[in-house]
Amino acid sequence: MKTVQVDVAVIGAGTAGLGAYHAAIAAGARTAIIEGGDYGTTCARVGCMPSKLLIAAAESAHAVRKSSGFGIHVEGIIRVDGHEVMARIRRERDRFVGFVQREMRVIPDEDRIRGHARFLNDHTIAVSDHIRLTAGSIVIATGSSATYPDSSEALGDRMIVSDDVFDWLDLPKAVAVIGPGSVGLELGQALHRLGVRVVVFGRGGGVGPISDPEIRSYAIAAFNEEFTLESDTHIETMLRDGDRVVIRRMGANGSRETDSFDYVLAATGRIPNVTGIDLNQTTLRLDAKGVPLFDPATTRTMSTDGESTIFIAGDASNFIPLLHEAIDEGGIAGKNAALLALGKPVNPGLRRVPLGVVFTDPQIGIVGGGFHEMKAGTFATGQVNFENQGRARILLKNKGLLNVYGDLMTGRFLGAEMLAPAAEHLAHLLSWALQNNMTITQMLEMPFYHPVIEEGLRTALQNLEIKLYQMREKPRRSGRG
């Protein structure tokens, strides 16, 4: 077994791993990056990019069907060629993956190690039984994997996860989506708009990351106008029948229905890839799911003796599994791992306010911790409904609801939840305001052009400012007797 010694070892060459490697090198540490699978990030291969390619095709088809609302009529049948749709997705997906692979080739050969890594102790890694690597500090950036339900074995290749969709050569006729989370909603709506019969099933009434009851109720109604979303249903059986799956379920109203589909798409989340790297050989403290406990500010993990020499970043940490967070965490982890290995103190990195976007139509946006982070009696809510908002009506995108939250005592902006047109842009504006600790008054002093979707945001902020004033004045008036 070959022996290698470095300052920093990075396990995983995805988004977080590459960020960690480059940060460690920039900090002056001798660094090795280890990858046991194919090069190419989750985002490029099976996540952000191919899913948005599918959504872009779906939006194009939807726009053609909606054109009559502008007085533009398309004669004849609109034909979606599934082979061409999927060919473009695979072609562009492979192009994005190629960018990542080229980035890997820039890394010197001596820094790149191929093989499956497993811990021997807190400072030593075995790589596929041919390399023994010792490092002053280690970064875990092993990513995550889509989960299969217990019924997957019985359904064989008729049970798929989101990763499998992007290898299709053609579009199926009918798909059942299990899980109305971000991935389930995005893929479910996109497939529906491309002519696939889709039913999205959930339990408990949840819809994506939405926690505000008003926004959630609006979203359920809005999505059901387009495709079937059963956000609270009980699936009794899923049985393979030839090349189809028969699903028998009980709805919220107690009715039983039976339906069949070409595929069942399990969109039930992803799990960190931490089970196969022998964390039991380390002194790390693990949570109930086997993920190391860590400090999000420094990404440093915790050991039974206190602070560890191991860091964790990206989806492997199960903290905020989003690409922009993986980039940040990778940079923080790599720099701190290098500092520690070189005998210098570890420092907190920049952690931005939470920002989440779901690319449905209307889009979902969550800024800050969302509604569930709010404490009753400490905040007020401002709202705008986009059904009569000027720019939204011009675009025939006039569907959506936005709630913004403000602190009763300080008037400071606290966060927002929305199902809205252009939520990806509204959420960015609001996240910047939140990170800069702006008050509602300060936000309203910013420019708003006309006519734009952002004018709807101004309406919500104006509504919130009035409510904050009224709620602060009410105790004063009642105190006067």
pLDDT digits (tens), the chain, 481 positions: 799 999 999 999 999 999 999 999 999 999 999 998 877 777 777 678 899 999 999 999 999 999 999 999 988 788 999 999 999 999 999 888 888 788 888 899 999 999 999 999 999 999 998 999 999 999 999 999 888 877 778 899 999 999 899 999 999 999 999 999 999 999 999 999 999 999 999 999 999 999 999 999 999 999 999 999 999 999 999 999 999 999 999 876 778 899 999 999 999 888 999 999 999 999 999 999 999 999 999 999 999 988 899 999 999 998 988 888 999 999 999 999 999 999 999 999 999 999 999 999 999 999 999 999 999 999 999 999 999 999 999 999 999 999 999 999 999 999 999 999 999 999 999 999 999 999 999 999 999 999 999 999 999 999 999 999 998 877 655 554 3
3-state DSSP helix/strand/coil % of the chain, to nearest 5: 40, 25, 35
In a domain, 80, yes or no: yes
Q: Are residues 283 and 384 in the same domain?
A: no
Instruction: Answer whether residue 445 is part of any domain.
Output: yes
**Do residues 260 and 367 both lie within one domain?**
no
Please give the pLDDT value at position 480.
44
| Residue 481 resides in a domain | no
Rounded to two decimals, the pTM is 0.92
Measured CA to CA, the distance from residue 342 to residue 331 in angstroms comes to 17
The domain boundary, picked from 280, 314, 341, lies at 341
Structure tokens at 248: 């028998």
Q: Phi and psi dihedrals of 377, rounded to 5?
A: 85, 0
As a whole number of angstroms, the distance between CA 335 and CA 20 comes to: 7
Residue 136 and residue 214 in one domain: no
The whole domain housing 427 covers 355-474
Q: Are residues 88 and 211 in the same domain?
A: no
CATH code of the domain containing 168: 3.50.50.60
Q: Is 279 left (phi over 0), alpha (psi -120 to 50) or beta?
A: alpha
Domain count, the chain: 3
Last residue of a domain, one of 268, 297, 318: 268
Q: Which of 290, 316, 341 is the last residue before a domain boundary?
A: 341
Q: Based on the domain organization, do 58 and 133 belong to the same domain?
A: yes
Is the same domain home to 467 and 396?
yes
| Contact predicate 382/464, CB 8 Å | yes
Tally of CB atoms within 10 A around 129: 10
Do residues 197 and 190 lie in contact, with contact meaning Cβ atoms separated by under 8 Å? no
Residue 196 falls inside a structural domain? yes
Question: Does 251 share its domain with 327?
Answer: no
If asked whether residues 84 and 66 sit together in one domain, one would say: yes
> Residue 128 is encoded by which pair of tokens?
């596929």
Residue 122 contacts by C-beta under 8 Å, 6 or more apart in sequence? 138, 282, 283, 284, 303, 308, 309, 310
